[in-house]
Amino acid sequence: MADPIIANRLPAVLELEQGEYFWCVCGRSRDQPFCDGSHKGTDFRPLRFEVDEKKRVALCQCKFTGQSPFCDGSHKHLEPAE
């Protein structure tokens, strides 16, 4: 599988309501950090996750987190953008 596109080198800090969400894994979505279907034709599939109660979250946008969909600071260790 190819590497995802780095959508942003900072997390998206959002207040999410209780419910179901689909996190963009490929980095192609124009609705970051959420999936908009732009992965079609690739090997990527969005990650479904649930929020049990309204809360503030930091969702990864570099796509290299080890705690998907949440930011774990992996963006700090990426090679500099060209």
Give the span between the Cα atoms of 59 and 68, in whole angstroms.
8
Show the DSSP H helices in the chain as ranges: none
For 42, half-sphere exposure in the C-beta direction (CA atoms, 13 angstrom radius) is 18
Instruction: Say what the pTM is.
Output: 0.92
Q: How confident is the model over 47-69, as pLDDT tens digits?
A: 999 999 999 999 999 999 999 99
pLDDT value, residue 2: 87
* Selected residue with higher pLDDT from 28 and 79: 28
CB 55 within 8 A of CB 21: no
Across the range 26-39, mean pLDDT stands at 98
Pick from 82, 38, 34, 36: which is nearest to 60 by CA? 34
> What amino acid is encoded at 42 in this protein?
T
pLDDT value, residue 79: 83
pLDDT of 1 higher than 80:
no
pLDDT of 32 higher than 90:
yes
- Considering just the CA atoms, what is the radius of gyration of the chain in Å? 12
Under DSSP, the state recorded for 77 is G
